[in-house]
Structures are given as C-alpha cells and as structure tokens.
Amino acid sequence: MQQHCIYDMEILRNKNLRVTPFRKEVLTIFLENEHAISIQDIEESLVEFDRITLYRTIKSFTNKGVIHEIVMPGDIKKLALCDRVCDHDSGLHEHNHIHFQCRKCEEIFCVEPLDFPEIKIPGFTIEEQEIQAKGVCNKCATVSQ
C-alpha cells in the first residue's frame, strides 16, 4: 500500500480533490486492480467504512475523472481508473479505449487499441463513444495453453 501513496496524492491533487486517508484507501484499491471492479469488490477490500462516505467518494472520483463507469450488457456496473489525460471538466469521459470482457474469467479491462475507429453519423455530433468487446484475455489464454 505504501508504494502507491505518493501516486495516490498526485492523482487526487491533480483532480482538485482533497487528500484524505479514506480517499487514498479507495484509490489504492483501484490502483491494485488491472481490471474494472464493482462497488461490492471495493466494500470487500475495505476493513472498516461508512457506506455513505464510500458512495460520496465514488461520486467525487467519477465527477472529477479519477474513475469511470462501465456497464456491459447483462453485467453489474463496474468502475475503472481513468487515464491520466482524461479531463472531466467538460462532463465527458474523454479518452478512447475499448472495454474488453474476458469470457473465461469475466473480468472487464480498459484497453487501448492500436487504431481507434472514427465514427461519423450524418446529422449527429458524436461527443463520446464506447466500444465493447468480448473474448479471452491474455492471462486466460496463457493458462489454456
């Protein structure tokens, strides 16, 4: 947990969030998971917490662009760290990546594609887009071999 301490404070300060022990603890949970996590996962990782404080922290993190929500069809809402360049001042999730769900371990990952498609729809202005993909993650593919 100590190795994340300086980075935790940097993320929170860069997003103009007050650094508190609880916010640092919640942020550490995100930093220790390479995949998206549910609120239940966060609750299970916390030793002692107030549910209202947790939900306020999640809301602050989402509003400030520290984390973003992922809703895959047929799955519960998950949360993942935003890229460092994501700027939520406009109210939009502003970095392009794909939400990939592994069919074996069922984890959801935010992955950067080599090429992100530019979609144009006549008569519409796209401000934000989400692309979801399913398959087998590298970890599960390695285990299968």
Rounded Cα gap, residues 64 and 49, in angstroms = 22
110 belongs to an annotated ligand binding site: no
Give residue for tokens 């809402």: 77
Residues in the chain: 145
Rounded Cα gap, residues 65 and 144, in angstroms = 36
Rounded Cα gap, residues 39 and 135, in angstroms = 24
Give yes or no for a contact between 43 and 54, defined as CB atoms under 8 angstroms apart.
yes
102 belongs to an annotated ligand binding site: yes
105 belongs to an annotated ligand binding site: yes
The binding site comprises 102, 105, 137, 140
Which residues participate in the annotated binding site for Zn(2+)?
102, 105, 137, 140
